[in-house]
């Protein structure tokens, strides 16, 4: 029962309730609402408004503080805040300011990511008109849309934008454009009588939709967030699910927290047991913790994303949400619409098909009656517009310019046909029927020119057209016998022929799909067309269609079965907004990274659900607000370029993570080990921070680095276990040379505290920095893979700075002492041998474990996603 109160069924229950209301009489609906069919009295309307609230879509509010606080939950940011504290304690205020700036930048980026959800909701609100005509106190009044309540009677006319969901009471030739909710471009018939109807919502008019013809009245059954449009607003307002890249970064952060905590506690306890002061041991262990933290990771990620964003902008791809660049590189499955993406998005007349042996001229001659300005002055749908734009049809229309309109039966989406009664100049009146081929042929009793077996011949021609993906209309005629047009069009028509329309495949789409196939992206198609039409287009473009399925067929499937169904099928037709989002979520449950390309309000929930939501420049404001990426041109080739750029960006980000953690771990492992047998700290806390900071500065240009081509074809994924293996292999490898340095400094140079610390500082920095030239690629460095010039320059400059520090004016402040030429001679030998050892270890490592940025092997579905060209 509705009883005038808001009933708030969730998800598919809301649509089911609308279907139920459409199937019962207006009197029964009024009884549930606790009102009459003649509308509400003003006092009752005011009481309902006070009880249920205004008819507005949900607003997410600003919640500035709450959003900002959620950003601080990242464990990596907590580590960086700890690094800030340690830097302040040891007097490194510059380091503290830099790290704090990095934290602030990460928080700000995350804040704006959530805040953009408000923009999508505001755009949704613009779909609602601000006024409505309702019957109050027995007379029609124009009131603000916010004041409409359940039980109000709406007066409906052409051009109205519905302000609420309502059950029709009366409807005369009423059609509604529901593209805002369904994506369907053609209006649908609306009928007041209860079903059964082909459209299960024929008795309902829905918020946000537009009345295209007719007039009527309706009883409001839901307002605001209880409407179907409100459900979309709720989905858009909700925080988007964590993307794969964000989830991977979260896992990496937790891994780093665990390693850092364990190492810090061990070093603190060991140094305290060895008799060093508690404060000294604490500061040293905290400095070790900070040293293990890749402090500039947020900055490296941000720089990588910013550079990627600028490169994508040159490819006419606008990134609204920077982290989406990384996720774009991870994409394995792309859900895309057909119209305008795989096809030109412009329907045109492909052919006029008459009886065998004819040129179709007679078909155009009769169909041209719809184009004669004296008979029919406007195209009522995209097919009529395509007919009007065809030169052949225009010539045929000119030949019948003297015909006069004597009557018209408007096109009905229930009948799926329309009719004209025309009078010829020389006398005689004809009824011309044009509409859906199957329906018109059922009303035909003859087929002049088609022969004795006319129906079989006509069926063969029709089937051939349908198999080639055409939208087909049939044209039939009969002589006027004086009866009403509804009766004359019900039978005894003479079939003239067919009009075949098509939205041709884009010539560039096949090449773009081949690029996506080479990138191991599985393309699945969502369409409002008949599945057979979409299947034909896919076949023409080389997409291997594994299966076709409609929204009705997936309704009611459980999560596991839905995931299997989505994986098995390629084309999905006539899905509701919630079904689109469910299909995306089903693919994500299989562990796939999903991108969704859509441009309508009905696509907004799926755009938010996907790892990467993609829209286009001419999309609705709602779709663009919900998307992460906006394409200035609706071309798949642009998207392929974006995915390639995303994989390059991800590859360079992972380079930093793997090298920074392994080098930092090696240094800290060495420091921890040395602290157990040295009478002094192997490196002062300020020196550790200086080493780590200078190393990070040298890596700031890593986002500009070149990426080996073999890393591009496979979707990239996080693998914490691989990061751990990399860290424990290459970290201790550098520690071996650290301990050789310890031996050299103690046994050969008989170094005291300051000299020892200076020698290890220079050696550790040179080895951990120069090794970037080897570990940045799986190929032979310099010969088969060259670093970018900015990376080479900053790396070498920072090495020179590190070598110069013990001789600089800052040496005393940092606790350094000048080193002898003999040390640098030994250092050169150690660096050369270290790099040789690392190169051998690198070849062993990548031979036994797959590359992180290479991703996983393609699935059988990916291998068969696009047929070979």
Q: Which residue has the higher pLDDT, 234 or 711?
A: 711
pLDDT of the residue at 83: 64
pLDDT of the residue at 41: 92
> Mind listing the pLDDT tens digit for each residue in 357-396?
888 888 988 887 766 534 444 445 677 778 888 888 878 7
Q: Which residue has the higher pLDDT, 103 or 29?
A: 29
Which residue is catalytic, options 147, 226, 327, 337? 337
CB 129 within 8 A of CB 160: yes
| The two three-digit tokens of residue 254, written as one number | 């937790």
Of 592, 595, 602, 600, the closest CA to residue 629 belongs to: 595
Percent of the chain with pLDDT over 70: 80
Residue 529's pLDDT band (cuts 50, 70, 90): low
How many Å apart are CA 248 and CA 280, to the nearest integer? 36
CB 337 within 8 A of CB 598: yes
The residue-averaged pLDDT of 125-153 equals 82
How many Å apart are CA 465 and CA 146, to the nearest integer? 50
The alpha carbon torsion through 449, 455, 457, 463 (nearest 10 deg) reads 130
Of 346, 364, 392, the closest CA to residue 499 belongs to: 364
| The two three-digit tokens of residue 193, written as one number | 């009588």
CB 373 within 8 A of CB 481: no
pLDDT of the residue at 628: 83
The residue-averaged pLDDT of 46-60 equals 82
The residue-averaged pLDDT of 540-554 equals 86
| The two three-digit tokens of residue 599, written as one number | 């441009």
pLDDT of the residue at 525: 87
pLDDT of the residue at 433: 92
Mean pLDDT of the chain: 80
pLDDT of the residue at 864: 40
pLDDT at 236 over 70: no
How many Å apart are CA 683 and CA 598, to the nearest integer? 56
In Å, what is the CA distance from 683 to each residue of 247, 337, 351, 678, 755? 35, 60, 83, 11, 10
pLDDT at 9 over 60: no
pLDDT of the residue at 127: 46
Task: Find the DSSP H helices in 224-345.
Answer: 228-237, 244-273, 278-292, 297-314, 324-330
Token pair 């292999």 is found at: 729
The residue-averaged pLDDT of 323-343 equals 82
Task: List residues bridging with 423 in a β-sheet.
Answer: 404, 429
Query: Is 337 annotated in the active site?
Result: yes
pLDDT of the residue at 170: 92
Residue 10's pLDDT band (cuts 50, 70, 90): very low
Map residue 197 onto helix, strand or coil: coil
CB 309 within 8 A of CB 322: yes
pLDDT at 832 over 50: yes
pLDDT of the residue at 103: 64
> Mind listing the pLDDT tens digit for each residue in 592-608?
889 998 877 778 788 88
Q: Which residue has the higher pLDDT, 715 or 3?
A: 715
pLDDT of the residue at 867: 36
Token pair 């490194």 is found at: 92
Task: List residues bridging with 572 in a β-sheet.
Answer: 526, 549
Least confident of 22-31, 153-162, 376-385, 475-484: 376-385
The residue-averaged pLDDT of 300-327 equals 76
> Mind listing the pLDDT tens digit for each residue in 179-191?
777 766 567 888 8
pLDDT of the residue at 292: 63
Residue 726's pLDDT band (cuts 50, 70, 90): confident
pLDDT of the residue at 620: 66
pLDDT of the residue at 391: 83
pLDDT at 243 over 50: yes
The residue-averaged pLDDT of 236-264 equals 69
Q: Which residue has the higher pLDDT, 137 or 657?
A: 137
How many Å apart are CA 15 and CA 483, to the nearest integer? 41
> Mind listing the pLDDT tens digit for each residue in 790-829?
999 999 999 999 999 999 998 988 889 999 999 999 999 9
Chain-centroid distance of CA 615 in Å reads: 8
Map residue 447 onto helix, strand or coil: coil
Of 123, 155, 129, 159, the closest CA to residue 144 belongs to: 129
pLDDT of the residue at 378: 42
The residue-averaged pLDDT of 99-106 equals 63
The residue-averaged pLDDT of 434-441 equals 89
Of 214, 227, 226, 45, the closest CA to residue 143 belongs to: 45
Least confident of 304-318, 566-580, 847-861: 847-861
Residue 865's pLDDT band (cuts 50, 70, 90): very low
Vertex 311 angle, CA 309 and 312, to 5°? 65
Q: Which residue has the higher pLDDT, 621 or 511?
A: 511
pLDDT at 6 over 50: no
């Amino acid at each position: 029962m509705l009883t005038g109160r808001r009933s708030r069924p969730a998800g598919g229950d809301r649509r089911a309730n609308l279907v139920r209301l459409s199937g019962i009489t207006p009197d029964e609906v009024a009884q549930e609402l606790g009102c009459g069919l003649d509308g509400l009295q003003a006092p009752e309307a005011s009481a309902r408004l006070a009880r249920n609230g205004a008819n507005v879509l949900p607003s997410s509010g600003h919640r500035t503080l709450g959003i900002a606080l959620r950003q601080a939950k990242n464990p990596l940011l907590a580590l960086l805040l700890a690094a800030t504290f340690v830097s302040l304690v040891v007097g490194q205020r510059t380091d503290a300011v830099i790290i704090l700036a990095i934290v602030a930048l990460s928080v700000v980026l995350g804040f704006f990511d959530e805040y953009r959800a408000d923009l999508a909701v505001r755009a949704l609100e613009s779909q609602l008109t601000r006024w409505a005509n309702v019957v109050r106190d027995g007379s029609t009044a124009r009131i603000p849309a916010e004041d409409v309540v359940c039980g109000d009677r709406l007066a409906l006319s052409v051009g109205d934008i519905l302000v609420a969901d309502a059950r029709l009471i009366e409807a005369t030739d009423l059609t509604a454009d529901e593209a805002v909710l369904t994506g369907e471009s053609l209006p649908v018939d609306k009928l007041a009588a209860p079903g059964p109807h082909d459209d299960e919502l024929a008795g309902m008019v829905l918020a946000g939709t537009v009345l295209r013809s007719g007039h009527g009245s309706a009883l409001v059954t839901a307002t605001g967030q209880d409407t179907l449009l409100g459900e979309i607003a709720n989905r858009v307002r909700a925080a988007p699910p964590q993307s794969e890249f964000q989830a991977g970064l979260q896992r990496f952060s937790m891994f780093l927290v665990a390693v850092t905590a364990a190492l810090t506690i061990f070093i603190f306890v060991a140094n305290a047991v060895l008799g060093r002061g508690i404060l000294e041991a604490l500061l040293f262990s905290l400095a070790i913790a900070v040293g293990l933290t890749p402090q500039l990771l947020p900055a490296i990620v941000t720089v990588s994303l910013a550079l990627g964003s600028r490169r994508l902008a040159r490819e006419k791809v606008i990134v609204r949400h920077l982290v989406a660049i990384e996720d774009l590189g991870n994409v394995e499955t792309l859900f895309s619409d057909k119209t305008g993406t795989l096809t030109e998005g412009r329907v045109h007349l492909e052919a006029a098909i008459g009886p065998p042996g004819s040129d179709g001229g007679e078909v155009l001659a009769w169909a041209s009656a719809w184009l004669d300005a004296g008979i029919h002055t406007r195209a009522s749908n995209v097919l009529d517009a395509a007919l009007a734009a065809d030169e052949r049809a225009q010539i045929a229309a000119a030949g019948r310019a003297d015909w006069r309109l004597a009557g018209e039966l408007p096109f009905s989406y229930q009948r799926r046909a329309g009719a004209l009664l025309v009078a010829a100049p020389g006398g005689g009146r004809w009824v011309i029927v044009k509409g859906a081929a199957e329906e018109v042929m059922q009303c035909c009793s003859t087929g002049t020119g088609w022969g004795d077996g006319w129906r079989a011949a006509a069926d063969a021609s029709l089937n051939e057209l349908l198999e080639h993906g055409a939208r087909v209309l049939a044209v039939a005629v009969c002589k006027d016998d004086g009866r009403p047009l509804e009766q004359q069009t019900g039978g005894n028509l003479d079939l003239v022929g067919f009009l075949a329309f098509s939205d041709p495949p884009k010539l560039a789409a096949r090449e773009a799909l081949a690029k996506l196939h080479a990138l191991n992206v599985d393309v699945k198609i969502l369409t409002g067309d008949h599945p057979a039409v979409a299947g034909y287009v896919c076949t023409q473009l080389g997409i291997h269609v594994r299966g076709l399925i409609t929204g009705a067929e997936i309704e009611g499937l459980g999560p596991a079965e839905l995931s299997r169904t989505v994986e098995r099928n390629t084309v999905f037709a006539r899905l509701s907004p919630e079904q689109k989002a469910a299909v995306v979520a089903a693919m994500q449950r299989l562990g796939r990274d999903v991108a969704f390309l859509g441009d309508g309000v009905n696509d907004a929930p799926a755009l938010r659900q996907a790892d990467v939501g993609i829209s286009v420049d001419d999309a609705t404001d709602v779709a663009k607000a919900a998307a992460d990426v906006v394409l200035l041109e609706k071309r798949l080739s642009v998207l392929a370029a974006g995915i390639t750029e995303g994989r390059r960006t991800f590859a360079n980000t992972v380079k930093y993570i793997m090298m920074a953690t392994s080098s930092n771990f090696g240094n800290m492992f060495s420091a921890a080990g040395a602290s157990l047998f040295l009478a002094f700290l192997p490196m002062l806390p300020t020196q550790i921070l200086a080493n780590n900071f200078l190393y990070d500065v040298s890596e700031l240009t890593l986002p500009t680095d070149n990426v080996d081509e073999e890393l591009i074809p496979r979707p990239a994924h996080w693998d914490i276990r691989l990061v751990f293996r990399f860290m424990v292999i290459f970290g201790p490898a550098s520690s071996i040379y650290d301990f050789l340095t310890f031996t050299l400094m103690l046994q050969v140079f008989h170094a005291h505290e300051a000299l020892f610390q200076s020698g290890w500082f220079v050696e550790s920095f040179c080895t951990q920095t120069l090794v970037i030239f080897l570990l940045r690629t799986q190929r032979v460095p310099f010969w088969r893979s060259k670093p970018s010039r900015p990376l080479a320059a900053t790396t070498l400059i920072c090495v020179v700075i590190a070598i110069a520090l013990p001789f600089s004016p800052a040496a005393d402040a940092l606790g350094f002492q000048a080193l002898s030429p003999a040390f640098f001679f030994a250092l050169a030998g150690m660096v050369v041998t270290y790099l040789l050892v690392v190169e051998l270890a690198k070849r062993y490592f990548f031979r036994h474990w797959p590359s992180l940025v290479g991703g996983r092997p393609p699935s059988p579905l990916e291998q068969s996603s696009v047929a070979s060209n």
